[in-house]
Chain A
Amino acid sequence: MAFLRRRRGGVDPSAQARSVSDLSALEGRHIGVDGIMTGLSFILLFIIVVIPIFMIIYNAFFYEGRFDLSLFTSVIFEEENLKAMGNTIIIALAVTVFGTIMGLFYAWLLGRSDIPAKGFMRALFTIPYMFPPFFGAMAWDLLFSGRAGYINRWLMSTFHLRQPPVNINSIGGIIFVECSYYFPFVFMQVVSALERMDPTLEESARIAGARQSQVIWKITLPLVKPAISAGALLILISSLAHFGVPSILGFSKNIYTLPTMIYALINRSGGSFEGIRQGTALSILLVAVVAIALVIQKYVLSSGSYDIIKGKSMRPTLIKLRGAKYPLLLLASLTLLVIVVVPLVMIFLVALVKAYGLPLTWANFSFSNYVKVFDSPATMDSIKNSLFLSITAGIVCMFLGVMIAYVINRIRPKGRGLLEILSILPYSIPGTVLAIGVILSWSGSLAGINLYNTIWIILVAYMARYLSFSMKSASASLQQVNSSLEEASRACGATHTESLKDITLPLIKPAMVSGFFLIFLPAMRELTTSVLLYGPYSRTLGVQIFALRDAGMIPQASALASVAIVIIIVCNAVVTEITKDRKGA
């Protein structure tokens, strides 16, 4: 072998290094498509993501150009704020624990037992996922808010109670409502893991002599553990940053969490800079709490994943429930009734009632609320605004996501890791915090650009918030498209731009479409960021419902919410239809 090495000869390493840069210099006839896309990705992410984050940190720690911790410490050590932080953590932990247990139990019941009507129930169990939790909060508020709630009143009059038996306007109530909307995170993760799990893994345990219960504890549960922890941490982070439910159920009883406290601070000060600064300081606190959760997530998720879970769908052996079958079916049906049917029905019923508080009887029903809703220009504007924002954000993010995913996966420039982090980061930043960053950045302090009170500031926030959805979707799809497909077209005489247009884009089109809907649907019902960013002419659908309810026009708020529910259901049906087509092709 020695003489082989001699034959290859030595190459001066410095000459090597030089040669690469020389060549790229002579290659640079003009900056290629690759260069343009890479540069654009960095610039856009800098504007959309880096600037708002920087502005938050800067404004929290600097005042009039000087480093100043006084505001930060004074806000953090205020008793009210500490209490809000405590509430945030208590609620998030409780929601995570109960939501995980609930999701896990029903995932197992529907994934592994012989309970009847599985497909139907499964579809129903994922419904809470579609609707914004604050709709549920509104419905439960209608039923159980102190002396005014319908059920509370009925219970009090029937059993001659002095006190309302249930008070939904409490930490417990908030936990309950958030649980019923967040448990699908664990449910869906675990159901799909159970489905993809190789059934022979369980069967071999039975053959090796394990009892049914031992198989569940020793084989099934450990194997789906990664799915459980992924879902649980998703619940934790979502709940920490959640605004809708605690704002609707908590404000009347002065129960605050960090996101609602930030909103209240800014709202109280009437949008003055002082209020925004206080909100900024509090944002840092919220980000710190979420960051801890994210670190836990990274640690837990990296510690265990099993590739014995196969990609293919297989038929698992079902566990016979025998005598427990019908009681469990009843339990599942009751759960569905309580968390899905009751809130939806309640919203529609109250939307029909002539005035809030009237008994829900035929005599009191009319369509007057709907007429009022559609007559009101503000409401129609909010629907238009939401449609405009969702469609624009969806389309813009769809293309940006594809471009960034292409740069990260194919062009692979130096610093692509940074690019990836920057595009995913805003998703982990609570919406409230993001909104403050956007306000701080685009209210005239930078280059005189003032978007405050316009619809564009909401669009910028939506883009930052949802970009990661389309980026991830495009990225996953690009990884499926082997780069040799594009290289083959280059060898066939297509320029880089032509091969992008003829080969790559058509192949990832389905992912682009689903990326659009992944943004369109949540943007349609967005509340958390819009509620801090809206101006007199830029209310969104979520904001308008929230505002109507805040102004005491509860039946009208319900009417508008029911319209939103119909829009969401229709859009979801369209998405399902489209994705079905794709599979058929």
Chain B
Amino acid sequence: MAGIKFQNVSFAYGEKQILRNFSLEVEDAQIMCLLGPSGCGKTTLMRCLLGLNRPSTGEIWVGDRCVFSKEKRINIPPERRGIGVVFQDYAVWPHMTVMENVCYPLKKQRLPRDEMEKKARYALEQVRMRDYAPYLPSQLSGGQQQRVAIARALVSSDEVIVMDEPITNLDAKLREEMLTEIRQIQKNIGTTILYITHDQEASLQLCDRMAIMDAGGALCQIGTDEDIILRPAERFVFEFIGVSNFFTLTRKGENWCFFGREDMPYTGTVPAEFEAAGQVDMGVRPNGIVFDDAAAEGGLTPSLIRGIIRRSVFLGSEYNLFIDLNGQEVRMQRSAFEGMGGVPEGAEVGLSFLGPKFYPVREGA
């Protein structure tokens, strides 16, 4: 068992700097999801770990073994790093059978034949592909090929496996299944997995911890999935992790107002730190917006934030509502089982906001 540690790793493709002094630690026997938009350098980082790219600075550790260090002049070649890998395009060798594919790493470890067979069979068992041992990859579906790739990664390392978008090429149902399986296999074996993806839903299902990278290749936040979702550290994380609505609130006297209109005051609390700026951006998720007309019946003042429903899309378990709020389109999500079915398009509704996040106003926005 072993963790992974990146320390001040930098890498550039020619003139283009991808990673700048990047540091990240993956704890032993965990699944860490590295999440970031396309082209942010996730794959580059993985290739540095595998030894396929050579960083220009820093150190990389696998367990207590230093596999790369600029200072100590260490650069262990990929074949001796002992890291299993699952590529996005499976990279199952088409000229070898499933069994031969899975045996290949063991052959390179010079294991005796019977032990090799045993280990390979066990790995195939883990991914439920035992019956397919004599097949050629061209006879398998995408999902099955991916399982072979995972089995191959399992036998090539007990310690660390890196997966680069391993389920992107599968259909939705298979994706779900594979995620559950990867989780299960990891529980059985206790391998450390670094899982690289741009799909936040997959990482939510899978990970112990998440690390978010921004488009510039910098690390924004590390934490448990709850941390990331409920307490996003930065506006980028908040926006990246799901659909978001943003409103700019302006300080007018005692109140914070929507769109600078005093007749639309925000009734919640804005952190005091923004008072000096007089302006703040408030982010709300679609399911953080609720109808607030109950006040009218209860005798309290109804919500002053009123919008018109422009479009309502039924999605099975919920409605997606597009609401016109003072000219801004607001996306709201409402459970289909809440209230009495859909709300007619064109109706005026009062709104209130749950779990808002506040960020400094973006310049130029």
Contact in complex: B216, A8 (CB < 8 Å): yes
Contact in complex: B54, A4 (CB < 8 Å): no
Is A485 close to B, CB under 8 A? yes
Contact in complex: B216, A4 (CB < 8 Å): yes
Is B247 close to A, CB under 8 A? no
* Residues of chain B in range 40-65 having any CB-CB distance to chain A below 8 Å: 50-52, 54, 56-57
User: Which of A117-125, A251-259, A461-469, A495-503 touches B?
Assistant: A495-503
Is A30 close to B, CB under 8 A? no
- Taken together as a complex, chains A and B put the C-alpha atoms of A484 and B47 apart, in Å, by 11
Contact in complex: B79, A494 (CB < 8 Å): yes
Residues of A within 8 A of B20 (CB): 8-9, 11
Could you jot down 30 A-B contacts, CB within 8 Å? A4-B214, A4-B220, A4-B234, A8-B20, A11-B10, A11-B17, A19-B70, A23-B56, A484-B87, A484-B88, A485-B93, A487-B50, A487-B52, A488-B87, A488-B152, A489-B93, A490-B50, A490-B52, A490-B78, A491-B50, A491-B81, A491-B83, A492-B108, A492-B152, A493-B80, A494-B104, A494-B108, A495-B77, A502-B104, A503-B93
Contact in complex: A491, B21 (CB < 8 Å): no
Residues of A within 8 A of B320 (CB): none
* Residues of chain B in range 70-92 having any CB-CB distance to chain A below 8 Å: 70, 73, 75, 77-85, 87-89, 91
Is B109 close to A, CB under 8 A? yes
Contact in complex: B75, A23 (CB < 8 Å): yes
Contact in complex: A485, B91 (CB < 8 Å): yes
- Taken together as a complex, chains A and B put the C-alpha atoms of A143 and B105 apart, in Å, by 68
Q: Which of A9, A491, A498 contacts B156 (CB 8 A)?
A: A491
Contact in complex: A487, B104 (CB < 8 Å): no
Q: Which of A26, A488, A495 contacts B91 (CB 8 A)?
A: A488
- CB-based nearest A residue for B362: A1
Residues of B within 8 A of A11 (CB): 10, 17, 20-21, 57
Q: Which of A16, A19, A493, A507 contacts B79 (CB 8 A)?
A: A493
Q: Which of A9, A23, A482 contacts B54 (CB 8 A)?
A: A23
Residues of A within 8 A of B84 (CB): 491
Contact in complex: B56, A20 (CB < 8 Å): yes
- CB-based nearest A residue for B78: A490
Contact in complex: A492, B89 (CB < 8 Å): no
- CB-based nearest A residue for B47: A487
Residues of A within 8 A of B214 (CB): 4
Is A583 close to B, CB under 8 A? no
Residues of B within 8 A of A4 (CB): 214, 216, 218, 220, 234, 236
* Residues of chain B in range 12-49 having any CB-CB distance to chain A below 8 Å: 12, 17, 20-21
Contact in complex: A9, B21 (CB < 8 Å): yes
User: Measured between C-beta atoms, what is the minimum distance from B219 to chain A in Å?
Assistant: 9
* Residues of chain A in range 1-55 having any CB-CB distance to chain B below 8 Å: 1, 4-5, 7-9, 11, 16, 19-20, 23, 26-27
Interface size class of A (residues with CB under 8 A): 20 to 34
* Given A4-B216, A8-B218, A492-B104; 6 other pairs, CB 8 A cutoff: A11-B57, A19-B70, A23-B54, A488-B91, A493-B109, A496-B77
- Taken together as a complex, chains A and B put the C-alpha atoms of A495 and B78 apart, in Å, by 8
- Taken together as a complex, chains A and B put the C-alpha atoms of A136 and B352 apart, in Å, by 89
With A485-B91, A488-B85, A493-B109 known to touch, is A5 a contact of B156 (CB < 8 Å)?
A: no
Is B278 close to A, CB under 8 A? no
Is B95 close to A, CB under 8 A? yes
- CB-based nearest B residue for A10: B20
- Taken together as a complex, chains A and B put the C-alpha atoms of A286 and B105 apart, in Å, by 56
Q: Which of B20, B78, B156, B362 has the most CB of A within 10 A?
A: B78
Residues of A within 8 A of B17 (CB): 11
Is A506 close to B, CB under 8 A? yes
With an 8 Å Cβ cutoff, the count of chain B residues facing the other chain is 45
Is B94 close to A, CB under 8 A? yes
User: Measured between C-beta atoms, what is the minimum distance from A514 to chain B in Å?
Assistant: 17
- Taken together as a complex, chains A and B put the C-alpha atoms of A8 and B87 apart, in Å, by 28
- Taken together as a complex, chains A and B put the C-alpha atoms of A492 and B10 apart, in Å, by 25
User: Measured between C-beta atoms, what is the minimum distance from A118 to chain B in Å?
Assistant: 31
- Taken together as a complex, chains A and B put the C-alpha atoms of A496 and B108 apart, in Å, by 12
- CB-based nearest A residue for B104: A492
- CB-based nearest A residue for B108: A493
- Taken together as a complex, chains A and B put the C-alpha atoms of A482 and B149 apart, in Å, by 15
Residues of A within 8 A of B51 (CB): 490
Q: Which of A493, A494, A496, A507 contacts B94 (CB 8 A)?
A: A507
Residues of A within 8 A of B50 (CB): 487, 490-491
* Residues of chain B in range 84-143 having any CB-CB distance to chain A below 8 Å: 84-85, 87-89, 91, 93-95, 104-105, 108-109
Contact in complex: B87, A487 (CB < 8 Å): yes
- Taken together as a complex, chains A and B put the C-alpha atoms of A498 and B317 apart, in Å, by 54
Residues of B within 8 A of A27 (CB): 54, 75
Contact in complex: A26, B57 (CB < 8 Å): no
* Residues of chain A in range 455-489 having any CB-CB distance to chain B below 8 Å: 482, 484-485, 487-489
Contact in complex: B21, A8 (CB < 8 Å): yes
User: Measured between C-beta atoms, what is the minimum distance from A567 to chain B in Å?
Assistant: 32
Residues of A within 8 A of B52 (CB): 487, 490
Residues of B within 8 A of A5 (CB): 216
Sorted nearest first, the 10 A-B pairs with minimum C-beta distance are: A493-B108, A492-B105, A490-B78, A488-B91, A484-B91, A491-B85, A19-B56, A8-B20, A484-B87, A26-B73
User: Measured between C-beta atoms, what is the minimum distance from A61 to chain B in Å?
Assistant: 39
User: Measured between C-beta atoms, what is the minimum distance from B22 to chain A in Å?
Assistant: 9
Q: Which of B82, B95, B218 contacts A506 (CB 8 A)?
A: B95
- Taken together as a complex, chains A and B put the C-alpha atoms of A492 and B80 apart, in Å, by 9
Contact in complex: B95, A491 (CB < 8 Å): no
Q: Mark B177-217, 1 if CB is under 8 A from A, else 0.
A: 00000000000000000000000000000000000001011
Residues of A within 8 A of B56 (CB): 16, 19-20, 23
- Taken together as a complex, chains A and B put the C-alpha atoms of A507 and B138 apart, in Å, by 13
Residues of A within 8 A of B156 (CB): 491-493
Residues of A within 8 A of B21 (CB): 8-9, 11
Contact in complex: B89, A490 (CB < 8 Å): no
User: Measured between C-beta atoms, what is the minimum distance from B261 to chain A in Å?
Assistant: 28
Contact in complex: A19, B81 (CB < 8 Å): no
Residues of B within 8 A of A484 (CB): 87-89, 91
With A9-B21, A11-B20, A23-B56 known to touch, is A490 a contact of B79 (CB < 8 Å)?
A: yes
Q: Mark A289-321, 1 if CB is under 8 A from B, else 0.
A: 000000000000000000000000000000000
Residues of B within 8 A of A494 (CB): 79, 104, 108
- Taken together as a complex, chains A and B put the C-alpha atoms of A20 and B270 apart, in Å, by 49
